[in-house]
């Protein structure tokens, strides 16, 4: 029982230690991403992490307000046996 408790505590401490927070930096030998076409300055890391509106369009939450009768489909054929 004591071994199980010690293992759990050690695992919890190790897991908590690996969650360090520090500023992101490019890998050694790598530079920052190039300036996007049309931009006047290099975007910050926070700006690069935010998706533009075109990448994440707003959801169209228009619900069906009334039932519409389905039109005839000339290609809806019965299965052939």
For residues 35 and 41, the answer to whether their CB atoms sit within 8 Å is: yes
Structure tokens at 21: 């927070």
pLDDT exceeds cutoff 80 at 16: no
What CA–CA distance (Å, rounded) separates 44 from 29?
A: 19
Q: How confident is the model at residue 62 (pLDDT cuts 50, 70, 90)?
A: low
pLDDT on residue 64 = 67
């Amino acid at each position: 029982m004591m071994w199980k408790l010690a293992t759990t505590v050690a695992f919890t401490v190790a897991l908590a230690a690996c969650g360090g927070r520090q500023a992101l930096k490019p890998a050694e030998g790598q530079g920052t991403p190039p300036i996007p076409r049309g931009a006047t300055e290099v975007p910050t890391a926070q700006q690069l992490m935010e998706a533009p509106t075109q990448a994440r369009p707003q959801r169209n939450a228009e619900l069906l307000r009334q039932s519409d009768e389905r039109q005839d489909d000339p290609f809806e054929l019965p299965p052939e046996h």
